[in-house]
Amino acid sequence: MSSLATPRLLRENLPKGESLCDYCNAKCCRYFALPIDTPDCSKDFDYMRWFLLHGQASVFVEDDSWYLLVHTVCKHLQSDNRCGIYLTRPEICREYSTDNCEYDEDTTYDKYFETPEQVAEYVEATYGQADFGCVRSPEPAILPILSV
């Protein structure tokens, strides 16, 4: 027997007097994104590759702005998806409200990079290697076949 997932409560159907946070998986506490300069040279793309080599990071573009997205959970997020330091939370958290949160947002980005190889492919396809230099490692030598 299969169990079906409970449909997510729509924002407009929130019962009066209840908080949207009671129904949320705390997306806003599971990452942070910082704006970065729009890359315009090989060094910028090399930095992007470096970001992505560290894991738990991605780069995205939204409305012509570039961002470094760090996938990391706030250390004060509790198992019930509530803030463990709510009364003393940082100002950025205080300014965030459920009026404009991403509870029911399924965003797609203009560009999204998860791996250094994707950055290299983007540079190659968009600018050509001649303009930015090669950002890929050379192809490794073929391993010899051992006889048994």
Number of domains in the chain: 1
The Cα 48–Cα 43 span in angstroms is 9
Q: What is the pLDDT of residue 136?
A: 57
* Domain boundaries, position 100: 18-127
Please state the pTM of the whole predicted model.
0.75
The Cα 136–Cα 23 span in angstroms is 44
The Cα 10–Cα 30 span in angstroms is 21
pLDDT averages per 10-residue partition of the chain, 148 residues: 62 83 87 95 92 95 96 95 95 87 82 95 82 61 78
* Crossing angle of the two packed helices 116-126 and 42-53, in degrees rounded to 10: 160
145 in any annotated domain: no
Q: What is the pLDDT of residue 25?
A: 85
10 in any annotated domain: no
5 in any annotated domain: no
